[in-house]
Structure 1
Amino acid sequence: MPTLRNIKVWNTDEVIDLAIPGPDGEPDGDAGIDATGLTVAPGFADPHVHFRDPGQTYKESMASGCAAAASGGYTNVLIMPNTVPAMDGEPVEAGKPGADEVLGAGYGTVIDYLQHYGEAHGVDLPVRYDLCVCASKGRAGHEATELDRWWRYMPGVDDDSKDAAQLAHPVTAISDDGSAVTPETLDAVFALAKASGLPLIEHCEHHDTGAVNEGPVSRKLGVPGIPEDTELKIVARDIAKARETGVYVHFQHVSTAISFDAIRKAKAEGLPITCETAPHYLALSDEALLEYGTLAKMNPPLRSEADRLATIEAIADGTVDMIATDHAPHTLEEKALGFLEAPNGIVGLECAYGVCHKVLVDGGHISDARLIELMSVAPERLMGHEATDVAALVEAFSEPAPNEGSNRLLDLAKVDDPESVDLVVLGTDQAWTVDPERFRSKARNTPFGGWKVTGRPLATVIGSRLAFSRLG
């Protein structure tokens, strides 16, 4: 790739030239792309994705999911454990759904299979990824997983005996995402988190009936509603448990004002609590169901307009620590089954930045720099990583540019440990229209098709190499 000229460094006033090595490790030619108006920032990280592999690859595979992530500016993602079979560390049983994919590739557990996915399928996945282990066996909620089954997959545990794939794709969190931790396993799961030191990433919502948010829209649709306190009950329960145990709890896809208030108070108390929300909760209310139908059906459901505004307020005041997509691929045929039968969820990796930028930055609620913190710095920290410090790279490794009067040049081929450098090039003011037919994901289930947004990832750099580009 030619050198990017006049590119702004995130969170500074610095303007530099950036040389990105080509496939042979050297800058790809001397030509320059005018990157005036573009910004280089640490790559995005998503702590909440579903890639449906193994078991439901007709919806998404690791290959298509990673391609979607790179297209959206993401350099790292956390794979949720609701695979088929579930990612619980248990040996896969022959004859069970999804077992043939794992056993046929020569692996005994889903964790082993996903860690070695590239080797098993002969592909080079373009994005880094970590794994999230189940809180309960089979995600059934009856019995907590056994630490001995997945302890060895954690970073820092017997690393000398691990191969490169195992080191690259560790288990860094615990969750039964898609379901809250059940009362019968709660004590044991918190004990697991305490013993392992991993965060408990909690699907903080539980309901036995209902399909959309309870309120005027559910009544207009004639669809059973889900009360907002279904979220608060889990949030309040787990805050109390965090207070009792000291376990770090991260709440997923928070969607209601009453939950944000509880989290705000817990943080003021100094408890080890963080939370995320998703682009759809800050951009859409349950009124969107009337326009988009089941493309806007998700769990937790889209809430009231008051809750949407409270979500934006919680982002602006720092209650929300990070933004995750909850990328949940389904086929359009499945989504056409109606509100009672259609699966929950939307895909989000490829338009998240544009949607968030339009609502939050263009709306005057936060700055460009704060959005990068929400989408890159904080999610990486949750997974136990540090986002690339772009300003530090410039300070330590930039050189005078070869052309007199030019900016300083940062040549990624010459930095220490180039393998650790993950970046995204952003057109923060670039206007574009979301077109699901151009997604790299297999899935098209999004209500954002046709939305006009601003802010677009233009290039994704992983390990100092170009993983995806919309530049010339």
Structure 2
Amino acid sequence: MAITLHDITVWDTGEHIDLVMDASPEALTEKPLAADVDASGLTLAPGFADPHVHFRDPGQTYKESMVSGCAAAASGGYTNVLIMPNTVPAMDGETLDDPEAPGAGEVMGAGYTGVIDYLQHYEAVHGVKLPVNYDLCVCASKGRAGHEATEVDKWRRYMPGEDIAGKDACQLAHPVTAISDDGSAVTPDILDQVLANTKESGLYLIEHCEHHDTGAVNEGPVSRELGVPGIPEDTELNIVARDIEKVRETGVHVHFQHVSTAISFEAIRAAKAEGLPITCETAPHYIALSDEALLKYGTLAKMNPPLRSEADRKATIEAIADGTVDLLATDHAPHTLDEKRLGFLEAPNGIIGLECAYGVCHKVLVDGGFISDKRLIELMSTEPMKLMGHAPTDITALLDAQQDGTGEGNRVLDLRTIGDAEEIGLVVLDTAKSWTVDPERFHSTARNTPFGGWRVSGLPLATIIGKSLAFSRL
């Protein structure tokens, strides 16, 4: 079945076109598909990309699996994600030899001796077609324990461009493209070696720019009202300043995750002005919520870094508006509600975010008058794609390559006629749609979000990969 979206608007040029694609039988659909769709008022953009997701597979699939995580991503308009290495066992390139170790049985039972190999071949192992393209991130330290840096020779072969002739299609499709110990900052004892590994491999370091040994929420009036130990804001700046100095020494590209404080943004702003190879992201929760949300949402709003003060929230929006923030990422972190009910000291950090990120960001940033629709798409699509080493889909270039002349009426982009379409990723957006976040309708296994019941604006209606629909609520 072919599907045509009539009179859809191209995000960056404003041109109205007709888009034709296949309806794959494997597509996730929330309603019956129609062959012809009036897409007037809808926007066609490059698919969203998120370089910061946790899918808990292998080892903690009761929280999230590759299947449910990728479904959540597709539902949120994402075509590309980067999976963080805090799997169980950790994604460190080491060979597994004990099937009784946590999570190892899943990997070894599938015939693989390493987590990277297992995740690269996940679709073949489980007989599924995942609706999202994904890359992998290798640990900075063995076991992600912070004691010993991983060895480049253990994971170099998983990188793009390495030993291409010896790789199968799965390995080529899901390479290792970054290094991180996300969940923890790289420890001081191994930082120099990790940076040397990063430089030798040509990858970039994704740094969890926050470290604290005590505390559960942001230090301030809210922590005191809750009677919960606080985390000072300089726990983030300490890592940011440390790593900026190392970037100055080494020239290695460091990407700072989920930046949340005004003082960190000031340091990053100055480093960028100096011309250092530094990029940074923030997350929807740091622009939409301050630590005062803890009083309303409890541990559903507990995360790391913690939600900060209202002044820091406003500084985060300012850093987005002035270009200090390069991109938006969700830090999608699934947990069970039972875990999140354990209380502020015991509950795990993190919230899920893939399925409402666009709506939350659109409501706060676009409706709030801070940035345009076009800039939000750049922050969620083209900029993260570039960070991840992928070319965002250029819709106008595809149209130009397909057309012999101007003709009459809308130009037609027929994805079915494109020979090499594997890298195409698109999202159909209703930028004006007002809707209510309902976690019970999420495709993620998890429900740990403070945004349930929020009225937001802007909804992804379809996600397209290659020549076909991957997800649709058209």
For Structure 1 versus Structure 2, the TM-score category normalised by the shorter chain is over 0.9
Query: What is the one-letter code of the residue matched to 1:3?
Result: T
**Which residue does the alignment assign to 1:284?**
289
Secondary structure in 2 matching 1:460: strand
Instruction: Provide the C-alpha distance between the structure 1 equivalents of 2:4 and 2:403, rounded to a whole number of angstroms.
Output: 13
**Which residue does the alignment assign to 1:321?**
326
Query: What is the one-letter code of the residue matched to 1:83?
Result: T
| Residue 167 in structure 1 maps to residue 168 in structure 2 | no
**Which residue does the alignment assign to 1:447?**
450
Instruction: Provide the C-alpha distance between the structure 2 equivalents of 1:45 and 1:309, rounded to a whole number of angstroms.
Output: 25
**Which residue does the alignment assign to 2:194?**
189
In angstroms, what is the RMSD of aligned CA positions? 1.6
Query: What is the one-letter code of the residue matched to 2:186?
Result: V
Equivalence map 1:258-407=2 (5 Å)? 258-398=263-403, 406-407=409-410
Match 1:123 to one of 128, 144, 147: 128
**How far apart are 1:398 and its partner, in Å?**
4.2
Distance 1:84 1:30, change over 3 A: closer
- Whether contact under 8 Å (1:327, 1:346) holds in the other structure is yes
**Which residue does the alignment assign to 1:76?**
80
Instruction: Provide the C-alpha distance between the structure 2 equivalents of 1:469 and 1:92, rounded to a whole number of angstroms.
Output: 39
**Which residue does the alignment assign to 2:156?**
151
The share of aligned pairs that are identical, in percent, is 76
Query: What is the one-letter code of the residue matched to 2:61?
Result: T
**Which residue does the alignment assign to 2:437?**
434
Q: Quick check: 390-399 or 179-188, which moved more?
A: 390-399
Q: Deviations over 1:358-392 (max 9, x none)?
A: 00011000011111111011111111111101121
- Whether contact under 8 Å (1:400, 1:407) holds in the other structure is no
**Which residue does the alignment assign to 1:410?**
413
Instruction: Provide the C-alpha distance between the structure 2 equivalents of 1:456 and 1:37, rounded to a whole number of angstroms.
Output: 12
Q: Deviations over 1:73-95 (max 9, x none)?
A: 00010000000000000011312
Distance 1:84 1:29, change over 3 A: closer
**Which residue does the alignment assign to 1:7?**
8
Q: Deviations over 1:165-206 (max 9, x none)?
A: 000000000000000000011110000001001000000000
| Residue 424 in structure 1 maps to residue 424 in structure 2 | no
**How far apart are 1:397 and its partner, in Å?**
1.6
Query: What is the one-letter code of the residue matched to 2:456?
Result: V
- Whether contact under 8 Å (1:43, 1:75) holds in the other structure is yes
**Which residue does the alignment assign to 1:41?**
45
Match 1:458 to one of 457, 461, 473: 461
Instruction: Provide the C-alpha distance between the structure 1 equivalents of 2:33 and 2:120, rounded to a whole number of angstroms.
Output: 35
**How far apart are 1:313 and its partner, in Å?**
0.3
Q: Deviations over 1:133-186 (max 9, x none)?
A: 000000000000000100000000011110000000000000000000000111
- Whether contact under 8 Å (2:75, 2:460) holds in the other structure is yes
Q: Deviations over 1:21-42 (max 9, x none)?
A: 23399xx999421101100000
**How far apart are 1:13 and its partner, in Å?**
2.0
Secondary structure in 1 matching 2:422: helix
**Which residue does the alignment assign to 1:207?**
212
Distance 1:24 1:52, change over 3 A: closer
Instruction: Provide the C-alpha distance between the structure 2 equivalents of 1:384 and 1:59, rounded to a whole number of angstroms.
Output: 29
Please report the TM-score for the alignment, with normalisation by the length of structure 1: 0.97
Instruction: Provide the C-alpha distance between the structure 1 equivalents of 2:195 and 2:112, rounded to a whole number of angstroms.
Output: 29
Aligned residues: 467
Query: What is the one-letter code of the residue matched to 1:140?
Result: A
Please report the TM-score for the alignment, with normalisation by the length of structure 2: 0.96
Distance 1:224 1:29, change over 3 A: closer
**Which residue does the alignment assign to 1:20?**
21
Instruction: Provide the C-alpha distance between the structure 2 equivalents of 1:23 and 1:424, rounded to a whole number of angstroms.
Output: 16
Instruction: Provide the C-alpha distance between the structure 2 equivalents of 1:193 and 1:171, rounded to a whole number of angstroms.
Output: 12
**How far apart are 1:399 and its partner, in Å?**
6.7
**Which residue does the alignment assign to 1:142?**
147
Which ranges in structure 1 are unaligned for 5 or more consecutive residues?
Answer: none
- Whether contact under 8 Å (1:420, 1:464) holds in the other structure is no
Segments of 4+ in structure 1 off by > 6 A?
none
Q: Deviations over 1:439-470 (max 9, x none)?
A: 00000000000000110000000112100000
**How far apart are 1:2 and its partner, in Å?**
2.4
Match 1:86 to one of 85, 90, 103: 90
Q: Deviations over 1:241-277 (max 9, x none)?
A: 0000000000000000000000000000000000000
- Whether contact under 8 Å (2:24, 2:470) holds in the other structure is no
- Whether contact under 8 Å (1:325, 1:352) holds in the other structure is yes
Instruction: Provide the C-alpha distance between the structure 2 equivalents of 1:427 and 1:405, rounded to a whole number of angstroms.
Output: 26
